[in-house]
Structure 1
Amino acid sequence: MAARYAQAMFELASEQGALDQVGTDLDKLDRAIAESPDLARLIASPVVTREQHASAVSAVADELDLSEITRKFLGVLAAKRRLFSLPSIVSSFRARLAEQRGEVTAEVASAKPLDQKQLAALTDAVTAYSGKKVRLDTKVDPSLIGGLVVTVGSRQVDASLKRKLQQLDVAMRGLG
């Protein structure tokens, strides 16, 4: 279902020449959902009425300064009681946009926020690996302790301290 909504949004945005704007809007929404547990619960709640969902997403759209096309799309999702699928819709839209642009998305989890120099170096490394333009989707995961986990398509490189400690633990257990 999320893929169908994402495809419809993609086609509508493409027809109106607003792919970049909608992509930016959806990125803002995705970050807002990730940073606000209250917002995440609200969009996932089946007990919230259509009207309450519509009012809430309207307020969020105002706060994030979203385009009219994205506002209307959120209104449709609220009216159809499909807001719970918004994270999946965003993911599908991003994948479709990246495909059209000839880009690959690399999901990067790091123990602490990366600075611009680190992001540039990582972008260069993933570009060299994939042979395509790269869009980094970063998130912070303190449980990694240090290092990175980079996922490109179905490939994952886990260079986190957490993983290295797990490997050391397994090796030490094998010696005992």
Structure 2
Amino acid sequence: MAEGGSDQTLVSGVAGRYATALFELASEANAIDAVSADLNSFSAMIAESADLKRLVTSPAFSAEEQVAAVKALLAAAGISGIAGNFIGFVASKRRLFALPGMISGYRNLVAEAKGIVSAQVTVAEEPSAKRLDEIRATLKAVAGKDVDVAIKVDPAIIGGLVVKMGSRMVDASLKTKLNSIRLAMKEVG
């Protein structure tokens, strides 16, 4: 775990406090990766189900309804242990609305502890395995540490790529280059 309060720069607020507590608990139990896997599973369930997303975000459900529904979902998904108890606890405290932020905060703490930098790379079409390896190697060389690369496909950028890594962003898309040329031509004319 990072010293000197650098965790505060990664996560803040209610979600940050919960994420930090969960990270410390998982770390003490040597279960960081297991908790990550369970949280990723539950996060995927939220993304795939409009009903679950509504349950998590709507204040219309009582704490009892949320706890009962979440416990049933956790059992069906085979999520138990620290992550299952944590999600149940969050539901009982009526904080499910903040769960996505808590999961994101936990991921940030894990990445920091493991020395991994996250990067989002937007490309016009799905890259080949070779191209993806080249992107990873280049980003690792720039960052000086391992990089967790999330690929987003957006045909609107036409070609090239857009990389967001930490607070840095490099936009080498054809769309941006064409817009720059268009703007330069307007200024000349």
TM bin, normalised by shorter chain, reads 0.7 to 0.9
How well do the aligned residues superpose, as a CA RMSD in angstroms? 2.5
Match of 2:28 among 1, 10, 15: 15
Find the residue that maps to 1:127 and give its secondary structure: helix
TM-score normalised according to structure 1 size: 0.83
| Structure 1 residue 26 corresponds to structure 2 residue 39 | yes
Q: Unaligned stretches of 5+ in structure 2?
A: 1-13
Seq. identity, %: 46
Does the CA-based 8 Å contact 1:110-1:141 persist in structure 2? yes
Shift of 1:89: 1.1
**Equivalent residue runs for 1:78-89 within 5 Å:** 78-89=91-102
Supply the AA of the counterpart residue of 2:169: Q
2:77 and 2:183 map into 1 onto residues whose CA distance is: 46
Count of residue pairs brought into register by the alignment: 176
Shift of 1:43: 1.2
Does the CA-based 8 Å contact 1:148-1:158 persist in structure 2? yes
Find the residue that maps to 2:150 and give its secondary structure: strand
Find the residue that maps to 2:94 and give its secondary structure: coil
Does the CA-based 8 Å contact 1:22-1:67 persist in structure 2? no
| Structure 1 residue 92 corresponds to structure 2 residue 95 | no
| Structure 1 residue 108 corresponds to structure 2 residue 113 | no
**Equivalent residue runs for 1:6-155 within 5 Å:** 6-141=19-154, 143-155=156-168
TM-score normalised according to structure 2 size: 0.78
Shift of 1:31: 3.3
Does the CA-based 8 Å contact 1:146-1:162 persist in structure 2? yes
Change (3 A) 1:95 1:54: same
